[in-house]
Chain A
Amino acid sequence: MNMEYLCVALLLVYVAYTVRLISILPFFRSYTNGSDVLESEPIERKGPLHVFLFLGSGGHTGEMLRLVDNYKEMLLAKGNTVYVGYSDDKSRSQFIRQVTIENRACRFEYYQFKKAREVNAGLLTSLASVLQTIIKSLAIIFKVSRAMRGKPRLVLLNGPGTCCVIAAWFKVIEWLDLFQPCSNIVYVESLARITSLSLTGRILYWIADLFIVQWEELCLTHPRARYYGLLV
Protein backbone atom coordinates (compact mmCIF):
# COMPACT_ATOMS: atom_id res chain seq x y z
CA MET A 1 0.00 0.00 0.00
CA ASN A 2 2.70 2.44 1.08
CA MET A 3 4.68 1.41 -1.95
CA GLU A 4 1.85 2.47 -4.20
CA TYR A 5 1.64 5.93 -2.65
CA LEU A 6 5.35 6.31 -3.07
CA CYS A 7 5.10 5.34 -6.72
CA VAL A 8 2.30 7.80 -7.33
CA ALA A 9 4.24 10.54 -5.55
CA LEU A 10 7.35 9.83 -7.59
CA LEU A 11 5.32 9.77 -10.75
CA LEU A 12 3.80 13.14 -9.90
CA VAL A 13 7.20 14.65 -9.21
CA TYR A 14 8.48 13.20 -12.45
CA VAL A 15 5.56 14.61 -14.40
CA ALA A 16 5.90 18.01 -12.69
CA TYR A 17 9.57 18.30 -13.59
CA THR A 18 9.03 17.08 -17.13
CA VAL A 19 6.29 19.62 -17.66
CA ARG A 20 8.50 22.25 -16.05
CA LEU A 21 11.38 21.39 -18.35
CA ILE A 22 9.15 21.63 -21.38
CA SER A 23 7.73 24.94 -20.21
CA ILE A 24 11.08 26.62 -19.57
CA LEU A 25 12.75 25.58 -22.80
CA PRO A 26 11.91 28.14 -25.43
CA PHE A 27 11.88 25.55 -28.14
CA PHE A 28 8.55 24.20 -27.03
CA ARG A 29 7.07 27.64 -26.66
CA SER A 30 5.14 29.06 -29.56
CA TYR A 31 6.91 31.98 -31.05
CA THR A 32 5.90 34.85 -33.22
CA ASN A 33 8.14 36.06 -35.93
CA GLY A 34 8.30 39.67 -36.88
CA SER A 35 4.90 41.18 -37.32
CA ASP A 36 2.84 40.93 -34.17
CA VAL A 37 0.51 43.73 -33.21
CA LEU A 38 2.30 44.34 -29.93
CA GLU A 39 5.36 45.57 -31.75
CA SER A 40 3.87 48.96 -32.34
CA GLU A 41 3.00 49.43 -28.69
CA PRO A 42 5.85 50.71 -26.61
CA ILE A 43 6.43 48.65 -23.46
CA GLU A 44 6.32 50.42 -20.11
CA ARG A 45 9.38 50.30 -17.93
CA LYS A 46 8.47 48.77 -14.60
CA GLY A 47 11.19 49.61 -12.12
CA PRO A 48 14.93 49.28 -12.46
CA LEU A 49 16.28 46.57 -14.70
CA HIS A 50 18.75 43.88 -13.64
CA VAL A 51 21.08 42.90 -16.46
CA PHE A 52 23.61 40.10 -16.48
CA LEU A 53 26.06 40.22 -19.35
CA PHE A 54 29.14 38.23 -20.21
CA LEU A 55 32.30 39.62 -21.80
CA GLY A 56 33.76 36.78 -23.79
CA SER A 57 37.13 38.44 -24.61
CA GLY A 58 38.44 39.88 -27.88
CA GLY A 59 35.83 40.25 -30.58
CA HIS A 60 33.03 39.04 -28.33
CA THR A 61 33.79 41.73 -25.77
CA GLY A 62 33.99 44.31 -28.56
CA GLU A 63 30.55 43.42 -29.89
CA MET A 64 29.03 43.31 -26.40
CA LEU A 65 30.40 46.78 -25.60
CA ARG A 66 28.89 48.14 -28.80
CA LEU A 67 25.56 46.46 -28.08
CA VAL A 68 25.43 47.88 -24.57
CA ASP A 69 26.33 51.32 -25.84
CA ASN A 70 23.71 51.23 -28.61
CA TYR A 71 20.93 50.29 -26.20
CA LYS A 72 22.21 52.11 -23.14
CA GLU A 73 19.05 54.13 -22.76
CA MET A 74 17.34 50.94 -21.69
CA LEU A 75 20.19 48.80 -20.40
CA LEU A 76 22.03 51.50 -18.45
CA ALA A 77 19.07 53.53 -17.24
CA LYS A 78 19.27 55.17 -13.83
CA GLY A 79 18.97 52.71 -10.96
CA ASN A 80 19.74 49.60 -13.04
CA THR A 81 22.05 46.89 -11.72
CA VAL A 82 24.51 45.38 -14.16
CA TYR A 83 26.18 42.06 -13.31
CA VAL A 84 29.29 41.85 -15.47
CA GLY A 85 30.71 38.39 -16.05
CA TYR A 86 34.18 38.26 -17.61
CA SER A 87 37.00 35.79 -18.05
CA ASP A 88 40.01 38.03 -18.68
CA ASP A 89 41.02 41.25 -16.94
CA LYS A 90 41.54 43.02 -20.23
CA SER A 91 37.82 42.78 -21.01
CA ARG A 92 36.95 43.95 -17.52
CA SER A 93 39.14 47.04 -17.72
CA GLN A 94 37.85 47.76 -21.22
CA PHE A 95 34.31 47.63 -19.86
CA ILE A 96 35.17 49.92 -16.95
CA ARG A 97 36.91 52.38 -19.26
CA GLN A 98 34.11 52.50 -21.82
CA VAL A 99 30.94 51.86 -19.82
CA THR A 100 31.28 52.07 -16.05
CA ILE A 101 32.93 55.45 -15.70
CA GLU A 102 30.39 57.06 -17.98
CA ASN A 103 27.32 55.58 -16.34
CA ARG A 104 27.51 56.43 -12.67
CA ALA A 105 23.75 56.11 -12.23
CA CYS A 106 23.95 52.31 -12.51
CA ARG A 107 25.32 49.81 -10.05
CA PHE A 108 27.95 47.45 -11.45
CA GLU A 109 29.07 44.12 -10.00
CA TYR A 110 31.87 42.07 -11.48
CA TYR A 111 32.22 38.29 -11.51
CA GLN A 112 35.18 36.45 -12.92
CA PHE A 113 34.57 33.18 -14.71
CA LYS A 114 37.28 30.72 -15.50
CA LYS A 115 37.76 30.19 -19.23
CA ALA A 116 36.04 26.98 -20.26
CA ARG A 117 38.93 25.93 -22.46
CA GLU A 118 42.44 27.23 -22.89
CA VAL A 119 43.89 26.97 -26.36
CA ASN A 120 46.36 24.09 -26.78
CA ALA A 121 45.47 22.39 -23.52
CA GLY A 122 45.67 18.62 -23.37
CA LEU A 123 42.55 16.47 -23.15
CA LEU A 124 42.81 15.76 -19.43
CA THR A 125 43.63 19.33 -18.46
CA SER A 126 40.83 20.53 -20.72
CA LEU A 127 38.39 18.20 -19.06
CA ALA A 128 39.53 19.24 -15.60
CA SER A 129 39.29 22.93 -16.45
CA VAL A 130 35.85 22.55 -18.02
CA LEU A 131 34.67 20.80 -14.86
CA GLN A 132 36.14 23.56 -12.71
CA THR A 133 34.43 26.20 -14.82
CA ILE A 134 31.12 24.39 -14.51
CA ILE A 135 31.31 24.11 -10.75
CA LYS A 136 32.67 27.57 -10.03
CA SER A 137 30.19 29.27 -12.31
CA LEU A 138 27.25 27.63 -10.53
CA ALA A 139 28.03 29.59 -7.38
CA ILE A 140 28.04 32.86 -9.34
CA ILE A 141 24.93 32.14 -11.40
CA PHE A 142 23.06 30.99 -8.30
CA LYS A 143 23.86 34.25 -6.57
CA VAL A 144 23.00 36.40 -9.58
CA SER A 145 19.75 34.60 -10.35
CA ARG A 146 18.66 35.02 -6.72
CA ALA A 147 19.42 38.72 -6.94
CA MET A 148 17.48 39.12 -10.20
CA ARG A 149 14.53 37.04 -9.10
CA GLY A 150 11.18 38.78 -9.31
CA LYS A 151 12.67 41.92 -10.84
CA PRO A 152 12.74 43.03 -14.46
CA ARG A 153 15.75 41.14 -15.80
CA LEU A 154 17.78 40.22 -18.85
CA VAL A 155 20.71 37.92 -19.47
CA LEU A 156 22.78 39.07 -22.46
CA LEU A 157 25.19 36.58 -24.04
CA ASN A 158 27.15 36.62 -27.29
CA GLY A 159 29.75 33.88 -26.98
CA PRO A 160 32.07 32.03 -26.58
CA GLY A 161 31.88 28.61 -24.84
CA THR A 162 31.54 29.83 -21.26
CA CYS A 163 28.16 31.28 -22.28
CA CYS A 164 26.81 27.74 -22.74
CA VAL A 165 27.70 26.94 -19.14
CA ILE A 166 26.16 30.20 -17.91
CA ALA A 167 22.93 29.73 -19.87
CA ALA A 168 22.65 26.10 -18.82
CA TRP A 169 22.96 26.98 -15.12
CA PHE A 170 20.33 29.70 -15.40
CA LYS A 171 17.95 27.19 -16.97
CA VAL A 172 18.79 24.39 -14.52
CA ILE A 173 18.00 26.71 -11.61
CA GLU A 174 14.75 27.64 -13.33
CA TRP A 175 13.96 23.98 -13.86
CA LEU A 176 14.65 22.74 -10.35
CA ASP A 177 13.00 25.67 -8.62
CA LEU A 178 9.45 25.43 -9.87
CA PHE A 179 8.72 29.01 -8.86
CA GLN A 180 11.77 30.63 -10.39
CA PRO A 181 10.61 32.97 -13.16
CA CYS A 182 12.11 32.89 -16.66
CA SER A 183 15.76 34.05 -16.86
CA ASN A 184 15.14 36.00 -20.09
CA ILE A 185 18.28 34.83 -21.87
CA VAL A 186 19.10 36.82 -25.00
CA TYR A 187 21.81 35.49 -27.29
CA VAL A 188 23.20 37.64 -30.09
CA GLU A 189 25.21 35.69 -32.64
CA SER A 190 28.48 37.26 -33.76
CA LEU A 191 28.56 39.57 -36.75
CA ALA A 192 31.20 37.25 -38.19
CA ARG A 193 28.70 34.40 -38.60
CA ILE A 194 27.06 34.85 -41.96
CA THR A 195 26.20 31.42 -43.29
CA SER A 196 26.41 29.13 -40.26
CA LEU A 197 26.06 29.42 -36.51
CA SER A 198 29.00 29.20 -34.12
CA LEU A 199 29.20 26.16 -31.84
CA THR A 200 27.94 28.26 -28.92
CA GLY A 201 25.14 29.52 -31.15
CA ARG A 202 24.12 26.01 -32.12
CA ILE A 203 23.85 25.03 -28.45
CA LEU A 204 22.14 28.21 -27.25
CA TYR A 205 19.63 27.98 -30.09
CA TRP A 206 17.90 25.40 -27.88
CA ILE A 207 18.21 27.36 -24.64
CA ALA A 208 18.03 31.11 -25.23
CA ASP A 209 14.65 32.79 -24.83
CA LEU A 210 15.46 35.25 -27.60
CA PHE A 211 17.93 34.07 -30.22
CA ILE A 212 19.27 36.72 -32.55
CA VAL A 213 21.33 36.58 -35.73
CA GLN A 214 22.81 39.57 -37.50
CA TRP A 215 22.53 38.31 -41.06
CA GLU A 216 19.15 37.55 -42.54
CA GLU A 217 20.26 34.39 -44.36
CA LEU A 218 20.60 32.55 -41.04
CA CYS A 219 16.87 32.95 -40.41
CA LEU A 220 16.12 30.69 -43.37
CA THR A 221 17.94 27.77 -41.80
CA HIS A 222 17.05 28.65 -38.22
CA PRO A 223 13.36 29.56 -37.98
CA ARG A 224 13.51 30.44 -34.28
CA ALA A 225 16.23 33.02 -34.89
CA ARG A 226 15.21 36.66 -35.11
CA TYR A 227 16.80 39.31 -37.23
CA TYR A 228 16.75 43.02 -36.51
CA GLY A 229 19.53 44.13 -38.83
CA LEU A 230 23.03 44.79 -37.51
CA LEU A 231 22.97 45.46 -33.78
CA VAL A 232 26.64 46.28 -33.13
Chain B
Amino acid sequence: MILAMAVKTVFVTCGATVPFPQLIHVVLGKALLERLSDAGFRRVIVQYGKGYEAEFRKRLNALECVPAKCSLADSTLGITATGLCCGFYAPGALEVIGLEYSTRVQDIVGLAGLVISHAGTGSILDSLRSGKPLIVCVNDKLMDNHQQQIADKFKQKGYVWACKPCESEVSECLSRSQSETLIRFPQAYSARFENDLKRLAFS
Protein backbone atom coordinates (compact mmCIF):
# COMPACT_ATOMS: atom_id res chain seq x y z
CA MET B 1 0.00 0.00 0.00
CA ILE B 2 2.81 2.40 0.89
CA LEU B 3 4.38 1.51 -2.41
CA ALA B 4 1.11 2.22 -4.23
CA MET B 5 0.88 5.63 -2.60
CA ALA B 6 4.34 6.54 -3.68
CA VAL B 7 3.60 6.14 -7.38
CA LYS B 8 2.69 9.59 -8.68
CA THR B 9 -0.78 9.09 -10.09
CA VAL B 10 -3.17 11.16 -12.16
CA PHE B 11 -6.85 10.24 -12.11
CA VAL B 12 -8.95 11.15 -15.14
CA THR B 13 -12.72 10.87 -14.80
CA CYS B 14 -15.35 11.39 -17.45
CA GLY B 15 -18.18 10.80 -15.04
CA ALA B 16 -19.78 7.42 -14.68
CA THR B 17 -22.62 7.79 -17.16
CA VAL B 18 -21.88 9.86 -20.25
CA PRO B 19 -18.68 9.11 -22.17
CA PHE B 20 -16.43 12.06 -22.95
CA PRO B 21 -14.41 10.91 -25.99
CA GLN B 22 -12.63 14.22 -26.53
CA LEU B 23 -11.08 14.12 -23.08
CA ILE B 24 -9.97 10.50 -23.52
CA HIS B 25 -8.55 11.42 -26.89
CA VAL B 26 -6.45 14.20 -25.35
CA VAL B 27 -5.32 12.19 -22.34
CA LEU B 28 -4.37 9.15 -24.39
CA GLY B 29 -2.57 11.30 -26.90
CA LYS B 30 1.20 10.82 -27.14
CA ALA B 31 1.81 14.50 -26.47
CA LEU B 32 -0.01 14.62 -23.18
CA LEU B 33 1.28 11.25 -21.97
CA GLU B 34 4.80 12.55 -22.51
CA ARG B 35 4.02 15.75 -20.62
CA LEU B 36 2.63 13.69 -17.75
CA SER B 37 5.67 11.47 -17.75
CA ASP B 38 7.97 14.51 -17.74
CA ALA B 39 6.05 15.90 -14.77
CA GLY B 40 6.91 12.72 -12.89
CA PHE B 41 3.63 10.87 -13.18
CA ARG B 42 3.99 7.10 -13.39
CA ARG B 43 0.36 6.02 -13.45
CA VAL B 44 -2.76 7.25 -15.24
CA ILE B 45 -6.13 5.90 -14.10
CA VAL B 46 -9.03 6.68 -16.41
CA GLN B 47 -12.69 6.20 -15.55
CA TYR B 48 -14.03 6.31 -19.09
CA GLY B 49 -17.75 5.81 -18.42
CA LYS B 50 -20.44 3.46 -19.58
CA GLY B 51 -20.27 1.91 -23.02
CA TYR B 52 -16.83 3.16 -23.98
CA GLU B 53 -14.73 0.07 -23.27
CA ALA B 54 -14.15 -1.08 -26.85
CA GLU B 55 -13.15 2.38 -27.94
CA PHE B 56 -10.83 2.74 -24.96
CA ARG B 57 -9.08 -0.56 -25.72
CA LYS B 58 -8.68 0.51 -29.31
CA ARG B 59 -6.93 3.67 -28.19
CA LEU B 60 -4.65 1.75 -25.85
CA ASN B 61 -3.70 -0.53 -28.73
CA ALA B 62 -3.07 2.42 -30.97
CA LEU B 63 -0.55 3.68 -28.43
CA GLU B 64 1.22 0.31 -28.63
CA CYS B 65 0.89 -0.11 -24.89
CA VAL B 66 2.44 -3.25 -23.51
CA PRO B 67 -0.42 -5.20 -21.91
CA ALA B 68 0.28 -5.77 -18.26
CA LYS B 69 -1.27 -6.88 -15.06
CA CYS B 70 -2.71 -3.95 -13.20
CA SER B 71 -0.55 -2.82 -10.30
CA LEU B 72 -3.59 -2.03 -8.17
CA ALA B 73 -5.88 -4.63 -6.63
CA ASP B 74 -9.49 -4.88 -7.75
CA SER B 75 -10.56 -4.05 -4.23
CA THR B 76 -8.71 -0.75 -4.43
CA LEU B 77 -10.23 0.16 -7.76
CA GLY B 78 -13.69 -1.08 -6.83
CA ILE B 79 -14.43 -2.00 -10.40
CA THR B 80 -17.51 -3.62 -11.78
CA ALA B 81 -16.99 -6.93 -13.54
CA THR B 82 -16.30 -5.38 -16.92
CA GLY B 83 -14.06 -2.73 -18.20
CA LEU B 84 -10.68 -3.02 -16.57
CA CYS B 85 -7.84 -2.68 -19.00
CA CYS B 86 -4.27 -1.95 -18.32
CA GLY B 87 -1.05 -1.36 -20.21
CA PHE B 88 2.33 0.29 -20.09
CA TYR B 89 3.02 3.16 -22.41
CA ALA B 90 6.53 2.30 -23.48
CA PRO B 91 8.64 5.48 -23.79
CA GLY B 92 7.83 6.87 -20.36
CA ALA B 93 7.04 3.58 -18.62
CA LEU B 94 3.72 5.12 -17.73
CA GLU B 95 1.09 2.69 -16.51
CA VAL B 96 -2.32 3.34 -18.05
CA ILE B 97 -5.33 1.83 -16.26
CA GLY B 98 -8.82 2.17 -17.68
CA LEU B 99 -12.08 1.29 -16.00
CA GLU B 100 -15.66 1.76 -16.96
CA TYR B 101 -17.07 2.66 -13.59
CA SER B 102 -15.80 2.47 -10.04
CA THR B 103 -17.80 2.19 -6.85
CA ARG B 104 -14.80 3.50 -4.94
CA VAL B 105 -13.99 6.71 -6.76
CA GLN B 106 -13.16 8.34 -3.46
CA ASP B 107 -10.38 5.79 -2.85
CA ILE B 108 -8.94 6.32 -6.31
CA VAL B 109 -9.03 10.09 -5.83
CA GLY B 110 -7.17 9.44 -2.59
CA LEU B 111 -4.33 7.79 -4.53
CA ALA B 112 -4.06 10.59 -7.03
CA GLY B 113 -1.73 13.57 -6.97
CA LEU B 114 -3.78 15.31 -9.61
CA VAL B 115 -7.31 14.86 -10.95
CA ILE B 116 -8.52 15.76 -14.42
CA SER B 117 -12.29 15.69 -14.49
CA HIS B 118 -15.34 16.54 -16.54
CA ALA B 119 -17.27 19.48 -15.11
CA GLY B 120 -19.94 17.49 -13.26
CA THR B 121 -20.48 18.68 -9.70
CA GLY B 122 -20.19 15.16 -8.28
CA SER B 123 -16.72 14.61 -9.69
CA ILE B 124 -15.61 18.13 -8.80
CA LEU B 125 -16.69 17.62 -5.18
CA ASP B 126 -15.01 14.20 -5.02
CA SER B 127 -11.67 15.85 -5.75
CA LEU B 128 -11.99 19.15 -3.92
CA ARG B 129 -13.38 17.57 -0.75
CA SER B 130 -10.31 15.30 -0.74
CA GLY B 131 -8.11 18.34 -1.17
CA LYS B 132 -6.72 17.23 -4.54
CA PRO B 133 -5.58 19.67 -7.22
CA LEU B 134 -8.13 19.56 -10.01
CA ILE B 135 -8.23 20.38 -13.71
CA VAL B 136 -11.80 20.66 -14.95
CA CYS B 137 -12.47 19.95 -18.59
CA VAL B 138 -15.76 21.10 -20.09
CA ASN B 139 -17.66 18.70 -22.30
CA ASP B 140 -18.88 21.27 -24.79
CA LYS B 141 -20.64 18.62 -26.87
CA LEU B 142 -23.34 18.25 -24.24
CA MET B 143 -26.42 20.27 -25.00
CA ASP B 144 -28.29 22.23 -22.37
CA ASN B 145 -26.19 21.55 -19.34
CA HIS B 146 -24.47 23.69 -16.82
CA GLN B 147 -20.95 22.36 -17.17
CA GLN B 148 -19.58 25.55 -18.69
CA GLN B 149 -21.17 27.71 -15.98
CA ILE B 150 -19.90 25.43 -13.24
CA ALA B 151 -16.38 25.35 -14.64
CA ASP B 152 -16.32 29.14 -15.06
CA LYS B 153 -17.59 29.68 -11.54
CA PHE B 154 -15.10 27.31 -9.91
CA LYS B 155 -12.29 28.75 -12.00
CA GLN B 156 -13.28 32.32 -11.13
CA LYS B 157 -13.17 31.39 -7.44
CA GLY B 158 -9.72 29.91 -7.95
CA TYR B 159 -10.70 26.39 -6.79
CA VAL B 160 -9.77 24.66 -10.07
CA TRP B 161 -8.00 25.10 -13.37
CA ALA B 162 -10.49 24.90 -16.22
CA CYS B 163 -10.06 24.18 -19.90
CA LYS B 164 -11.58 22.87 -23.07
CA PRO B 165 -10.83 19.29 -24.13
CA CYS B 166 -7.96 20.07 -26.46
CA GLU B 167 -4.30 19.16 -26.07
CA SER B 168 -2.91 22.68 -25.81
CA GLU B 169 -5.30 23.80 -23.10
CA VAL B 170 -5.03 20.63 -21.02
CA SER B 171 -1.24 20.85 -21.31
CA GLU B 172 -1.27 24.43 -20.16
CA CYS B 173 -3.39 23.54 -17.13
CA LEU B 174 -1.06 20.64 -16.42
CA SER B 175 1.97 22.88 -16.30
CA ARG B 176 0.12 25.40 -14.15
CA SER B 177 -0.80 22.58 -11.77
CA GLN B 178 2.89 21.83 -11.35
CA SER B 179 3.77 25.39 -10.37
CA GLU B 180 0.67 27.02 -8.85
CA THR B 181 -1.50 26.16 -5.89
CA LEU B 182 -5.26 26.54 -5.87
CA ILE B 183 -7.40 28.42 -3.40
CA ARG B 184 -8.56 26.14 -0.62
CA PHE B 185 -12.10 24.93 -1.17
CA PRO B 186 -14.31 26.14 1.71
CA GLN B 187 -15.73 23.52 4.05
CA ALA B 188 -19.37 22.53 3.78
CA TYR B 189 -20.31 22.93 7.40
CA SER B 190 -22.31 26.02 8.37
CA ALA B 191 -23.28 26.45 12.02
CA ARG B 192 -25.85 29.01 10.92
CA PHE B 193 -27.53 26.46 8.67
CA GLU B 194 -27.55 23.80 11.37
CA ASN B 195 -29.04 26.27 13.81
CA ASP B 196 -31.80 27.21 11.36
CA LEU B 197 -32.54 23.51 10.82
CA LYS B 198 -32.77 23.01 14.56
CA ARG B 199 -35.03 26.00 14.97
CA LEU B 200 -37.33 24.67 12.27
CA ALA B 201 -37.35 21.12 13.64
CA PHE B 202 -37.48 21.68 17.37
CA SER B 203 -39.70 24.74 17.75
Contact = CB atoms under 8 A, between A and B. Distances in A.
B198 A74 contact: yes
Determine the interface band of chain B, counting residues with CB < 8 A from chain A: 20 to 34
A154 B200 contact: yes
Contacts of A232: 125, 188
A192 B146 contact: yes
A153 B121 contact: no
B193 A228 contact: yes
Contact of B200 (A45, A70, A71, A209): A209
A44 B195 CA distance: 10
B188 A154 contact: no
Contacts of B120: 59
A161 interface: no
A163 B197 CA distance: 19
Contact of A191 (B125, B189, B199, B203): B125
Interface of A: 38-39, 42-46, 49, 58-59, 62-63, 66, 70-71, 73-74, 152-154, 184, 186, 190-195, 209-210, 212, 215, 226, 228-232
A195 B202 CA distance: 33
A232 B203 CA distance: 25
A43 B194 CA distance: 9
B39 to A, nearest CB: 30
Q: Is the interface of B mostly helix, strand, loop or mixed?
A: helix
Contact of A194 (B149, B192, B197, B200): B149
Nearest to B120: A59
B150 interface: yes
A194 B119 CA distance: 14
Contacts, number: 85
Contacts of A71: 189, 193-194, 197
Interface of B: 17, 120-122, 125, 129, 146, 149-150, 153, 186, 188-190, 192-203
B201 A184 contact: yes
12 contacts: A59-B121, A66-B125, A66-B129, A154-B200, A191-B125, A194-B150, A194-B153, A215-B153, A229-B188, A230-B188, A231-B193, A232-B188
Contacts of A63: 121-122
A229 B186 contact: yes
Contacts of B150: 191-192, 194
Contacts of B202: 43-46, 49, 152
Given A43-B198, A58-B122, A70-B188, 16 more contacts: A42-B195, A45-B202, A49-B201, A58-B17, A62-B125, A63-B121, A71-B189, A71-B194, A74-B197, A154-B197, A154-B200, A191-B125, A226-B196, A229-B188, A231-B188, A232-B125
